Structure 1
Amino acid sequence: MKRILITDANIVNDGKITRGDVFIKDGLIFIAGGNLKEYEADITIEANGKYLLPGLIDDQVHFREPGLTHKAEIYTEAKAAVAGGITSFMEMPNTVPQSTTLELLEEKYKIASERSLANYSFYLGATNDNLEEILKADPNNICGIKVFQGSSTGNMLVDNEETLEKIFAECPLLIATHSENDDIIKANLEKYKQKYGDDIPVKFHPKIRSEEACYDASKKVVDLARKHGTKLHILHISTGKEVQLFDNTLPLEQKRITAEACVHHLWFSEEDYEEKGTFIKWNPAVKTAKDREEILEGVLDDHIDVIATDHAPHTLGEKDNPYTKAPSGGPLVQHCLVALLEMYHEGKIRLEDIVQKTSHNVATLFEIEKRGFIRPSYHADLVLVDLEAPWTVNRDNIISKCGWSPFEGQTFRSSITHTIVSGQLVYENGIFNEDKMGERLKFSRKLSE
């Protein structure tokens, strides 16, 4: 592999910003520090004061392969991810077929090994009848188990109380949940359908997938996890009320129950439905501006541990439908980091906090082997950003296969100039290098925990 020297960068790592160089050899960070120009490199990147961050690790994406490749595929979405500074992703099981067996899961790993520019891992999906398969999973080889409590995922919904209890009691892996109470959602939807039919104004989405539905389901699994000592990670917190379910007094390494915020819940609010319509229809729903503020506060005070995307593309034709027929989800991996950097420019979050929540904490929480930090002997997953290079999102520069973005028309003040994945320079100023694919994430977990 080529040796890479990055010079004169503002290195954002381990809670501080220092000026210096980074030398990469054999795919690993060899040394990071002051002036390293004596090291002989094949590629020299002159940062000239740009900011060097550990690559983002996105713990929740839907790349739609296999079976839904008219919307997206691992190849296209991984390219969008690295263009957005995401060097590793963890992908969800609601594909076709659904990844609910280890054999089907390995088929996705094979696709990624041949087609993904980013590093990768895949969740095994839980159902009402695959506990035996879950118990066979190697905790050091996959990121976790995904449990859906919301109705948007078809027959992957785990609604058998006895099964849910057993999963939480017996599963040795981290359990990640989509927590919404399906009964509450169905009752709310029926009420609005009686009034509007299928053409429900999308502004009522957060009333249908309500605060009550989210809090009720999140509290249920938090209680289950506390009862059984389960390692639980609740995805895409969308209400301020849920934030208080989580502890911010323990160091992350000691937490058994953790939470994730997604960039769209930190950016949009219900006021945006009038302009954006179904293009910001997500499950769980974008809710009030107050919820948005309280989620950000939860991120900053460590009630919420990580920031991710829940990248979930649909085609324009699918989105351009009445409320009940328009699917929930949208593409976000390309614009997550620049959106967070825009929040930095606005004084809402520090660069150190962005790195902590998108890289350091994800690596710590999932116990990923030697990634997520700029440290000697760690895998060289890095992103270089120019904080003063504005650009505007439009359909000509969108990389996701679906061809649209909820950020269309937004001018961001920052640009991603270089992305390095496992020691390979895969993205440089709009140009991709596809000579080497990303690597499978490994985990260093102790079953006794």
Structure 2
Amino acid sequence: MLIVNAKIINEGHEIEGDVLILNGRIAKIGKNLSAPAGVTTFDAKGRWLLPGIIDDQVHFREPGLTHKGNLATESAAAVAGGVTSYFDMPNNNPTITTRERLAEKYANTTGRSFANYAFYFGGANDNLEEVARLEKNEACAVKVFMGASTGNMLVDNPATLNGIFSKSKLMVVTHCEDTPMIKANEDAAREKYGDDVPWKQHPLIRSAEACYKSTELAVGLAKKHNARLHVLHLTTARELDFFTPGPVKGKKITVEACVHHLYMNDSWYNTHGALVKCNPAIKTEEDRLALVNAVREDRIDVIATDHAPHTWDEKAQKYFKAPSGLPLVQHFLLMLLDMVHRGELNLRTVVNKTSHAVADHFGITDRGYIREGYWADLVLVDHNATTTVRKQDVLYHVGWSPLEGKTFPARIDATWVNGELAYHQGKVNPRPLGQRINFS
């Protein structure tokens, strides 16, 4: 395919030009390119052409929790939102805490995913030797729940934590919340409110102090063992002091922000309740603005979703029974483009934090940029159109979005995965095009 008349947003530049795709890869970038025989021409009509988003944190719920979602349904929603690659988390059922289960998960995904994929390996209190044996390309990184969020994957044994940070050949990524502090806050809330805890208490129960204490521990372990650490879904202004501004290349300790923590504040609990209950919790407007500023100054290195669907009936329960997590991949890019529209971020920063920096940080082979020789993972955006989130258009298996009724100042018009149209004119290509991601 030859994409013509595009406004290409890539590597800090905006240029008008064409992109020739041959055999799944970008063969040439230039102006006034001619289509070789047998090559289809696609007119971008001046719309933005971006590298496809790489979401480094999703929970697509397979294996074991497929009543909430699966690798096929959620990856279809992803490509409809411009996400061309994703890294799926290991808190499945059974948990991905053995290399055998990891290999089975990859095998079961072949030919079923609409976007490219890689999987995390889960650290646990009893699998240190498995962690130590992991090699490049077996997993994108080792995930450690330093605060139990879902499943039974809390790693709270100090010897095991030290062992993971000292023995893992792969990057260690962490969920940082201090479980004893959270349990104490839950007990106090239950004593005051019973089971009907108001939703606005969630960021006080999953408190800023609990986040800070756990992040402090993770950063300390990384420095002690000279390990590569990536802290997931930061939520507070105070925690930012642990991280330094600058390009992601060369950093050993890095941090991610999630789109909902950049886009929402704790007032959303008053209007959306359980639908936006997530761990770690959405915090104050002051925290949100600090996170946005940290993205702009390159203190926060990447942006992701932490896409985590639950059924409507599960979310309809009272505080302690309603699970944490919300579905976001289909509207990830639209949320960030809304922030661009209102002046909080610029488009080049969005491209960097969702594509370039993710590829650089994890060492992804031939993805994350619009470059000759790279895989043609691309998304076309009409910045003069709008998108209203309607229930009938939601592609998540659970069939709902916390953003229903919201109108965004842009529209995802097309997504290419490995050089082929995965999404176009409001429809997902029924043939899954995703491939397993390789790491350099």
Instruction: Give the TM-score range, shorter chain.
Output: over 0.9
How many angstroms does 1:40 deviate by?
4.0
Is residue 307 from structure 1 mapped to residue 303 from structure 2 by the alignment? yes
Is residue 172 from structure 1 mapped to residue 183 from structure 2 by the alignment? no
Matches within 5 A, 1:85-234: 85-234=82-231
CA distance in 2, matches of 1:408, 1:156: 32
* Equivalent pair of 1:11/1:18 in contact (CA under 8 Å): yes
Report the counterpart of residue 72 of structure 1 in structure 2.
69
Report the counterpart of residue 291 of structure 2 in structure 1.
295
* Equivalent pair of 1:270/1:287 in contact (CA under 8 Å): yes
CA distance in 2, matches of 1:70, 1:19: 45
CA distance in 2, matches of 1:373, 1:41: 26
* Equivalent pair of 1:31/1:376 in contact (CA under 8 Å): yes
Deviations 1:415-436 (A, max 9, x none): 1111001112111011222334
After TM superposition, the score normalised by the length of structure 1 is: 0.96
CA distance in 2, matches of 1:342, 1:172: 39
Report the counterpart of residue 369 of structure 2 in structure 1.
373
After TM superposition, the score normalised by the length of structure 2 is: 0.98
Q: Which moved more, 1:167-176 or 1:34-43?
A: 34-43
Q: Letter of the aligned partner of 1:133 in structure 2?
A: E
Report the counterpart of residue 447 of structure 1 in structure 2.
none
CA distance in 2, matches of 1:244, 1:45: 47
Report the counterpart of residue 323 of structure 2 in structure 1.
327
Matches within 5 A, 1:290-439: 290-439=286-435
How many angstroms does 1:243 deviate by?
1.4
CA distance in 2, matches of 1:318, 1:82: 26
* Equivalent pair of 1:424/1:436 in contact (CA under 8 Å): no
Report the counterpart of residue 24 of structure 1 in structure 2.
21
Aligned length: 440
Q: Letter of the aligned partner of 2:25 in structure 1?
A: L
Closer, same or farther: CA 41–331 of 1 in aligned 2, 3 Å: farther
Matches within 5 A, 1:268-287: 268-287=264-283
Deviations 1:374-398 (A, max 9, x none): 0011011000000111121111010
* Equivalent pair of 1:235/1:260 in contact (CA under 8 Å): yes
How many angstroms does 1:406 deviate by?
1.1
CA distance in 1, matches of 2:30, 2:353: 23
Partner of 2:245, secondary structure, is coil
CA distance in 1, matches of 2:357, 2:109: 24
Partner of 1:153, secondary structure, is coil
How many angstroms does 1:41 deviate by?
5.1
Q: Which moved more, 1:99-108 or 1:328-337?
A: 99-108
Q: Which moved more, 1:87-96 or 1:140-149?
A: 140-149
Is residue 441 from structure 1 mapped to residue 437 from structure 2 by the alignment? yes
CA distance in 2, matches of 1:334, 1:9: 23
RMSD after superposition? 1.0
How many angstroms does 1:44 deviate by?
1.8
Partner of 2:218, secondary structure, is helix
The unaligned stretches of length 5 or more in structure 2 are: none
Closer, same or farther: CA 102–295 of 1 in aligned 2, 3 Å: same
CA distance in 2, matches of 1:235, 1:205: 19
* Equivalent pair of 1:142/1:443 in contact (CA under 8 Å): no
Sequence identity (%)? 51
